[in-house]
């Protein structure tokens, strides 16, 4: 049985990509209440007990809402300590590795969009950026063994990103950035299910803003005449449907990151976005003296965009390829 988590990073900013993360696990039995934290307690923890320390004091991987792990003061260190060992197990990648190769590997649908943008073309940094390489290998090996000890498989971690141009085109088409988030999340889920046919799947997504109704999106993306609505409320919206040979149950819940697969999806999405913004800031701050980096959120994004706007024509880049209109 598959247990799948989905979450996003970058829904609110005006600069940089919207990123949707996913993690896919195989377990013996699964429901929305399945607690992988308990099953994997030997190698996973849900909190940073050493939040003021530069490096982790435990070999156990922290899997939690990315907002509780990442801090601008520590840069990428925390995310790298937790995400890269897991990515190495799930996607059989090794480090050191080119950052662009890493992004392309777990987000293949975004390759063409990144190829059009000069901040990725000029980006030659390698991973890890801040984490210790030997420590990552150690943590990865321990995590892999911990999974094997309890018979749980992490099949893949995956992301899907929308750079501003693609984001703007879709918002114009669907007239709502919430719809764009829901549709792209479910399209990622569909593509993952295509890879893992033949077993039931339980899917937990963090809720998309204030939306409580998702049946129409599920019908459109999975091309279904109808889906079974198990319940729709502020706290949780649940659905069941048949997709090829998979029986799929999908739940959109508030605080979805309390479920381990969804928390890991949140972390992967956040790490991808932080790498994308690192490329962005290195490109522009290396060209414009005195320009301070940005995280891309609305007020500071206006300051940053005002500084770079006059330089866009020379790079043959339009506003829509940089500035997200919603």
> What pLDDT, in 10s, does the model give residues 89-113?
999 888 888 999 999 999 999 999 9
Mean pLDDT of 252-281: 95
Other beta carbons less than 10 A from residue 251's beta carbon = 22
The closest alpha carbon to 45, from 63, 71, 31, belongs to 63
**28-73 tens-digit pLDDT:** 865 555 689 999 999 999 887 644 344 444 689 999 988 888 777 7
Torsion angles phi and psi, residue 237, rounded to 5? -125, 120
CB 319 within 8 A of CB 162: no
Indicate the pLDDT class of residue 209, thresholds 50, 70 and 90: confident
Other beta carbons less than 10 A from residue 117's beta carbon = 22
Q: Would you list the domain boundaries of the chain?
A: 2-277
The closest alpha carbon to 44, from 167, 170, 173, 149, belongs to 149
Burial class (CB in 10 A: 0-12, 13-18, 19+), 219: middle
pTM confidence score: 0.94
43, two tokens = 């190698």
H/E run at residue 39: helix 36-39
Kindly give, in sequence order, each residue whose CB lies less than 8 Å from that of residue 26, ignoring residues fewer than 6 positions away: 1, 2, 3, 152, 153, 155, 199
Q: What three-state secondary structure class fits 302? A: helix
Indicate the pLDDT class of residue 123, thresholds 50, 70 and 90: confident
Q: What is the pLDDT of residue 57?
A: 47
Average pLDDT over all residues of the chain: 92
H/E run at residue 84: helix 77-91
CA 40 to chain CA centroid, nearest Å: 21
Q: What is the pLDDT of residue 94?
A: 87
Looking at domain 2-277, does it have CATH number 3.30.420.10?
yes
The closest alpha carbon to 9, from 91, 88, 65, belongs to 65
pLDDT at 203 over 90: yes
Q: What is the pLDDT of residue 34?
A: 64
Q: What is the pLDDT of residue 31?
A: 53
CB 270 within 8 A of CB 220: no
Torsion angles phi and psi, residue 143, rounded to 5? -65, -45
Report the alpha-carbon distance of residue 242 to residue 220 in Å, rounded: 14
- List the beta bridge partners of residue 228: 240
Kindly give, in sequence order, each residue whose CB lies less than 8 Å from that of residue 177, ignoring residues fewer than 6 positions away: 11, 167, 171, 326
């Amino acid at each position: 049985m598959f247990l799948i988590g989905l979450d996003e990073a970058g829904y609110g900013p005006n600069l940089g990509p919207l990123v949707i993360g996913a993690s896919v696990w195989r377990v013996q039995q699964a429901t929305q209440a399945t607690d992988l934290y308990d099953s994997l307690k030997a190698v996973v923890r849900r909190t940073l007990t050493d939040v003021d320390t530069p490096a982790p004091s435990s070999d156990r991987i922290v899997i939690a809402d990315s907002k509780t792990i990442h801090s601008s003061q520590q840069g990428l260190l925390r995310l790298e300590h937790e995400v890269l060992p897991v990515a190495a197990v799930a996607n059989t990648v090794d480090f050191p590795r080119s950052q662009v190769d890493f992004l392309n590997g777990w987000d293949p649908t975004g390759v063409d969009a990144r190829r059009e943008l000069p901040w990725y073309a000029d980006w030659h940094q390698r991973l890890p950026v801040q984490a210790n390489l030997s420590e990552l290998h150690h943590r990865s090996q321990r995590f892999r063994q911990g999974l094997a000890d309890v018979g749980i498989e992490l099949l893949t971690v995956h992301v899907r990103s929308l750079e501003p141009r693609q984001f703007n085109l879709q918002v114009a088409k669907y007239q709502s950035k919430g719809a764009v988030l829901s549709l792209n999340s479910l399209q990622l889920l569909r593509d993952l299910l295509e890879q893992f046919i033949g077993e039931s799947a339980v899917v937990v997504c963090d809720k998309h803003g204030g939306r409580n109704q998702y049946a129409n999106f599920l019908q459109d993306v999975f091309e279904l005449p109808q889906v079974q609505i198990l319940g729709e409320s502020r706290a949780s919206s649940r659905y069941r449907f048949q997709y090829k040979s998979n029986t799929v149950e999908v739940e959109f819940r508030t605080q979805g990151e309390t479920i381990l697969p969804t928390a890991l999806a949140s972390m992967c999405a956040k790490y991808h976005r932080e790498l994308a913004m690192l490329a962005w800031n290195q490109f522009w701050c290396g060209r414009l003296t005195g320009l301070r980096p940005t995280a891309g959120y609305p007020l500071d994004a206006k300051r940053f965009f005002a500084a770079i706007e006059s330089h866009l024509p020379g790079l043959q880049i339009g506003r829509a390829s940089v500035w997200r209109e919603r």
